[in-house]
Structure 1
Amino acid sequence: MRPYQVLRSVFIFLLATKLLGRLQYVLRYEGLRSYLLRLLTPYLKMLPMVRAKLDKEMQKTMTELRAKFSQDLTSPCTALPSKGMEKEELLKLMDQRKEQDTKNWINGKITGAVYHGGQEHYDFVGQVFSRWAFCNPLHPDLHPALRQMDSEVVQMVINMYHGGPDACGSFTTGGTESILMAMKAHRDWGEETKGITEPNIVICTTAHAAFDKAGKYFKIQVRKARPDGDMAMDLKHMKQLIDRNTVAIVGSCCQYCHGTIDPIQEMGKIALKKNIGLHVDCCLGGFLVPFMEKAGYPLPPFDFRVPGVTSISCDPHKYGFAPKGSSVVMFSNKELRRYMYCYLTDWSGGIYATPTMVGSRPGGPVAATWAAMRRFGEDGYVQTTREIVGATRTIAEGLKQIDDLRLVGRPEVCVVAFDTKKGAGFSCYAVADCLKQLSGWELATCQNPPSVHLALTLLTAKHAESFVKDVKAAVARVKESPKLYNSTAGVYGMAATLPQGFIEDAVGAYIDAMSEAHESAAPAA
C-alpha cells in the first residue's frame, strides 16, 4: 500500500471505531430514538410552521395559567406604597392571605406537602422561628447559640441513622440541596483520589429528580438503571452501568413515586467491591424509617449500619415536623464531607468558605428544627410513625380489594401508588380527576409507568378508611362515564408522544406564569 492509502485506511478505521463506540454508548445509556429526537428537536423548532404553532400554543398556555394564578389574588400590589402601611392593616392582610392558603389543605385531603397540620404545633414552632429569623449561621461568632443548635440538629440526625464516631454532616435548606452537596462531594472525591474527570452516577429511574439536577449543575453524567417488578433498583442492570468513571450509586429509602425501598444492603456490597460511593436518599422517609422498628414495622438495615453507605440525605421539614427549609446531609467520614466544601482563599474580601451551597441563610429554620425535634423526642416520632405507616398499610390493603386497580411498587413506608389494570377501560389519571371532583382529594401524578399516589401525613392518616371508600366511588363513577374525567390523562398522553424539548417549552411557560406578579386595579396608595 502507498503511504496515503495507509493513512486513509487508518483514518477510516479510527473514524469507524469512534462511531461504533458512540453508537454502543447511545444504545446502552440513552436509546437510539431518544438520541435522534434530542438531536433533531432544535432544528424542528426552527421550522417556521413548527415555530408558529409553538408560539400559538405557548401564548394560549400562558393566558390560561395567568387566569389560574390570578383567580385567588388578595389585594394585588406590585409597587412600594408611597407611605408605609400601618401594622394593624398589614396584619389584617396577612390573615386574609393565610386563610386563603390554609383552606387548600386543612381538610387533610392532599398528598404530602403539609406533614403535621396542627395549629398548636405551628404556633409553637413559629414562636421559636421568629426569635432567630434575623440571625445568620454564616456568622457563628455573633450567634454561638445558633451554631450550637445547628450542630446539635445534625448530630441528633446522625445518631438516628447509626453514624459511627467519624460520621458527620451539615444542615441544608432542603432535600435537593442535600442531594446536590452529596453528589458534589462524590464528584470531587472521584477526581482527586481516582483522577476521574468525566464522572457518572448510577441511579434507578425512580430516584428523585434532584439527582438529575445535580448532573446538570455539576457536569455529572446520570445513568439510569431500570426498576424491577416492585419498582426497586434492578441490581443486574445497575452493575452493567457501572464503569471506571462511576463515583457513586444511589438508593432510595423510600422513593417518592411508589414508596418502594431499594435493596440498600446489596448495593452496599457492590459499592465496596467497586470502591465507589453509595448515597441513600431518605429525604421523604427521613423521620419515619429510623423509628419503624420500634413502631412495629421492622425494616432491613438501610443506614450507616450497612457497610458501603457513604452519605445519606434526610429532611426534618417533612415528618420531623420542622419548618420548611430544613434538611441534613450526612457523610460516613469527615474526609468525604470536605469535598463538599467551597473554599476561596484569595478573594479580596478575605478568606471565604462555606460548607454547603448557600452563604447567608436564616437562623429561624435551624432553631425551630432543633425545638421541634426536642419537643417530639423519640417516643413522639415512634407514635407518629405508627399512625402514618399503619394508615399507609390500611389504604394499600383496601385498594387491593378494588377489582380494576393494582398497586404500583411496595407501600412500605408512607406512599401508596396505584394504576388501573390492563383492560379496565379507563386510566388512573381519570380516577384521580374524579376523586378531586367528587371528594376533594388531591393526588400526585407520576409517569413511566403511569400511576397516581398518595403520600400520607398526620392529616391524611386520620382519613385512611374514608379514602378507600372515596376511591371505590370514583372508580364506579369513572366506569360509567370515562370520557368525563380525562384532563390529566390528556396532558400525560400528550407528554408521552412529544420530544422532551417541546415539553420543556410548556413547563418553562408554567414557571414563567407562576413567577409573574399581577397588577392591582388601582395604583399603590
Structure 2
Amino acid sequence: MVLAMERPLKNAVNKFFRGKEPYQVLRSLALFLVAAKFISRLQQIIRHQGLRSYLLRCLTPYLKKLPMVRAKLDKEMKKTMSELRAKFSQELTSPCTSLPSKGMEPEELLKLLDRRKELDTKTWAEGKITGAVYHGGKQHYDFVGQVFSRWAFCNPLHPELHPALRQMDAEVVQMVVNMYHGGPDACGAFTTGGTESILMAMKAHRDWGEAEKGITEPNIVVCTTAHAAFDKAGKYFKIHVRKAKTDKDMAIDLNHMKHLIDSNTVAIVGSCCQYAHGTIDPIEEMGKIAKKKKIGLHVDCCLGGFLVPFMEKAGFSMPGFDFRVPGVTSISCDPHKYGFAPKGSSVVMFSNKELRRHMYCYLTDWSGGIYATPTMTGSRPGGPVAATWAAMCRYGEDGYVETTRQIVGATRQIAEGLKQIPELRLVGRPEVCVVAFDTKPTAGFSCYALADCLKQQSGWEVATCQNPPSVHLALTLLTSKQADRFIKDVKAAVDLVKESPKLYNSTAGVYGMAATLPAGFIEEAVGAYMDAMSEVHDGPAGP
C-alpha cells in the first residue's frame, strides 16, 4: 500500500523537476526549507507574544540609539531620578554608608531603630492602605515578633542542628495541605513568599513535562490577569507563557485558553483570587480541561490563601478551588498575608510526591558533598518558620473564620457602596478581598485622578492597575474596620475631582505615558525607580 502511494508522488516530483539542472533543484529545495522555517517561526511569534509586540521589542533597542530619542530619554531619566531622590530623602534618619569606626552602644542603636520603626509604622497604622501590611492586631504583632527572634539565627538547611525547627516547618506545610483538602499523597514545601512558591510550581511542571512527555520547549497558559510571578518563572526557567483573554468579569476566557493549549503545554493556571480585580477563575471547569489534556493545573491562592478555605464556614458561597477539584495538581498559598504570619512565609503544595520531586534540585557529585534543596534557597532564616507556626496555632480555625467574615464582609460592603456612586463602575468581581473600580466614560475624570485625590485629601493608598485602567483596594483586617469611612471618602473625592480635575493628574500622567510607549521605554523608567530605591540618599550625617 505504501509503494502504491509512493508511485504517484514519485511521478509528480520527477515531472516537476524534469529538464531542470541539479543547481535549480537544490535552490528550489533550499527556498522551500527557508520559507517553511520562516512560516513556522512567524506562527510561533504570533502564538507566543503577537507580531506587533515582537516587532516593537526588536526595534526598540535601535530607536533608543537615535540621538533625538536618546536625548529625550536621558532628560526624562534625570527628571525621574531627581524626583525619586527628593521623595526618598524626605524622612531620613542619620544615613550610614560606612562601618562606624567604633561599635555603637545598644541603647544608642535602639533609640535610632525606634525612630526608624516609627517612620515605617505611621503610614499604615490607620489601615488606610491597600494590602501590603497584613496586621493581625497589636498583641498578635508583638507575640509573633517574640517567636521570630528566638529562631532568627536558626537555619532550616540544617535539620540535624534544629530538629524542632524542622518539625515546625513540616507541620506548617501539613496544616496548610489539610486546609486545602489534600489527599494522603498531597505534600508541599515552605518557601520565602508567593513568588518563590509560583516559581517552584512552574519548575516542577516543566521538569515533569520533560521527564514524562519529552517536552523540551514547554509552555504554560495563564490569564492576562495572572500574577507577574508566572512571567518571572517563564524568564527564569525558559517556559513560554501564553496569555488567555478575560471575560467581562475579568476571569479567564476558557475557549481562548483551550485554543492556546498544545502538545508542549505542561500546565494551565487559575487564580483564586487574582490580584488586580479580585475575581476567582473557574477552577472546576479548568480542572476538567487539565484532566482531559493530561496536563497540570496550578491554582494561585497566594492572595486569598487564608480566606478562601474558610469562606463557607464564614457564611459565604465558594466555588470549588482546592485539591477536591479533580485536575488540580499544585496550589500556592501565603500565610504571611491573611494568615498574619511574618513576611517571608509561603507554602507551595502538590497533589502527589512524584510531582514535588520535580521541584527539587540535586547535586550529587559536588566536591563539597551531596547537595540537595527542595526550593530555590539554600540557607534561610528560621524565624519566619517558627513565627508562622505560632501565628497559625494562635489564631486557629475559629479565628480565621472570624477574620474571613470581617474582611470578605467589608469587601462586599464597599463594593455595594461604590455601586451607588454614579460616576464609578466595578471592574471584575469583588469575591474575596479586593474591590477594583474605574470611572465611567461620562465621569469627566480618570480613576487615576481619583486615586491621587484620595491620597492627597484623605490619606488613602489605593493600587493603580492597567489594561484595563482601574484602581483597587485590597482589604486587610485593619482596613475592614474602615469600610464606611472609605465609601464616604471616595464620594468626597469624586466631588473634588469633578470640580478641579487638573489638580489630580500625577498618576494619570504616568499611566498615560505607559499606555502609549513600548515596554522597552517604560522599562528604563522602572529601572530608574529600582536604582533610586537601592541608593543611600543625602541627609544628616551618619552615627
Corresponding residue to 1:233 among 252, 256, 276: 252
- Write out per-residue CA displacement over residues 446-488 of structure 1, whole angstroms, 9 at most, x where no aligned residue: 0000000000001100010111111111111111111111111
Query: C-alpha distance in 2, partners of 1:333/1:374?
Result: 25
Structure 1 position 279, deviation (Å): 0.3
Report the Cα distance in structure 2 between the residues aligned to 1:198 and 1:13, rounded to whole angstroms.
Answer: 25
CA distance in 2, matches of 1:521, 1:453: 37
Distance 2:536 2:92 in 1: 10
Q: How far 1:300 sits from its partner (Å)?
A: 1.3
Matches of 1:79 and 1:160, distance apart in 2? 48
Q: State which of 33, 37, 41 in structure 2 corresponds to 1:22.
A: 41
8 Å CA contact 2:89–2:539 kept in 1: the answer is no
Counting only pairs closer than 5 Å after superposition, residues 57-72 of structure 1 correspond to structure 2 as 57-72=76-91
1:254 to 259, 263, 273: 273
Structure 1 match to 2:231:
212
- Alignment of 1:163 with 2:182, yes or no, is yes
User: How does 1:336-375 map onto structure 2 within 5 Å?
Assistant: 336-375=355-394
Cα distance in 2, alignment partners of residues 177 and 24 from structure 1: 32
Aligned partner of 2:478 among 440, 459, 465: 459
Q: Distance in 2 between matches of 1:142 and 1:420?
A: 57
In the other structure, the counterpart of 1:115 is 134
What displacement does 1:147 show?
Answer: 0.3
CA shift at 1:519, angstroms? 5.1
The aligned counterpart of 2:337 is: 318
* Whole-angstrom CA distance in 2 between matches of 1:473 and 1:85: 49
| CA distance in structure 2 between the aligned counterparts of 1:509 and 1:281, rounded to whole angstroms | 30
Shift of 1:56: 2.1
Q: 2:146 aligns with which of 127, 134, 137?
A: 127
Letter in 1 for 2:492: A
Indicate which of 382, 396, 409 corresponds to 2:415. Answer: 396
Q: Is the 8 A contact 1:78 1:520 kept in 2?
A: no
2:22 counterpart residue number: 3
Residue 176, structure 1, aligned to residue 195, structure 2 = yes
**Tell me, what secondary structure is at the counterpart of 1:453?**
strand
Distance 2:401 2:363 in 1: 43
| 1:150 equivalent in structure 2 | 169
TM-score by length of 1: 0.98
Quick check: 1:45 aligned with 2:64? Answer: yes
Question: 1:490 aligned to 2:509?
Answer: yes
- Distance apart, 1:30 and its partner CA: 2.2
Secondary structure at 2:315 match in 1: coil
Q: Is residue 2:440 matched to residue 1:421?
A: yes
Task: State the distance in 2 between where 1:387 and 1:333 align.
Answer: 34
- Could you say what secondary structure the match of 1:473 adopts? helix
SS in 2 for 1:313: strand
CA distance in 2: counterparts of 1:485 and 1:152, whole angstroms:
50
> Does 1:198 pair with 2:199?
no
Query: Could you tell me which amino acid in structure 1 is paired with residue 478 of structure 2?
Result: L
> Could you tell me how far 1:53 is from its partner in structure 2?
2.0
CA contact (8 A) 2:48 2:241 kept: no
Given that 1:162 and 1:303 are in contact with CA atoms closer than 8 Å, whether structure 2 keeps it comes out as: yes
For residues 357 and 401 of structure 2, what CA distance do their matches in structure 1 show? 33
Deviation at 1:120, TM superposition (A): 1.1
Q: Residue type matched to 2:432 in 1?
A: V
Q: How many Å apart are 1:520 and its aligned residue? A: 5.2
Partner in structure 2 of residue 304 of structure 1:
323
Distance 2:278 2:41 in 1: 36
Matched, 1:433 2:444: no
Mean Cα deviation higher: 62-71 or 271-280: 62-71
- In the other structure, the counterpart of 2:461 is 442
String of CA shifts for 1:353-410, please: whole Å, max 9, x gaps.
Answer: 0000000111000000000000000000000000000000000000011111110000
Please, which moves more after superposition, 52-61 or 298-307? 52-61
Q: Which residue of 2 aligns with 1:96?
A: 115
Give how far 1:27 is off.
3.0
After alignment, is 171-180 or 43-52 more displaced? 43-52
Equivalent pair of 1:129/1:367 in contact (CA under 8 Å):
yes
Change (3 A) 1:431 1:520: closer
Q: Deviations over 1:224-259 (max 9, x none)?
A: 001110000100000111111111000000000000
Deviation at 1:517, TM superposition (A): 1.5
In structure 2, give the amino acid aligned to 1:19: F
Residues 54-102 of structure 1, C-alpha deviation per residue, up to 9 Å, x if partnerless? 2222122112111111111111111111111111111111110000111
Whole-angstrom CA distance in 1 between matches of 2:105 and 2:537: 23
Change (3 A) 1:335 1:515: same
* Matched-pair contact (CA < 8 Å) for 2:276–2:465: yes
Equivalence for 2:495: 476
For the Cα contact (< 8 Å) 1:191–1:197, is it kept in 2?
yes
Q: Number of paired residues?
A: 524
* Residue of structure 2 aligned with 1:263, choices 279, 282, 288: 282
Shift in Å, 1:20? 2.4
Q: Which letter does structure 1 place at the counterpart of 2:507? A: T
C-alpha separation between the residues in 1 aligned to 2:220 and 2:43?
19
Does 66-75 or 445-454 show the bigger shift?
66-75
Identity of aligned residues (%): 84
d(CA) in 2 for partners of 1:361 and 1:237? 40
Indicate conservation of the 8 Å contact 2:426/2:435, yes or no: yes
In structure 2, distance between residues paired with 1:58 and 1:520: 22
The normalised TM-score by structure 2 is 0.95
Structure 1, unpaired ranges of 5+: none
- 8 Å CA contact 1:78–1:518 kept in 2: the answer is no
Task: Report the RMSD for the aligned CA atoms in angstroms.
Answer: 1.1
Q: Distance in 2 between matches of 1:504 and 1:495?
A: 10
Which residue identity lines up with residue 383 of structure 1 in the other structure? E
Does the residue aligned with 1:45 lie in a helix, a strand or coil?
A: helix
1:273 pairs with 2:324: no
Report deviation, 1:19.
2.1
- Equivalent AA in structure 2 for residue 273 of structure 1: K
Query: Is the contact between residue 77 and residue 520 of structure 1 (CA under 8 Å) also seen in structure 2?
Result: no
Aligned AA (2:149): S
Residues 271 and 299, structure 2, Cα contact 8 Å, conserved in 1: yes
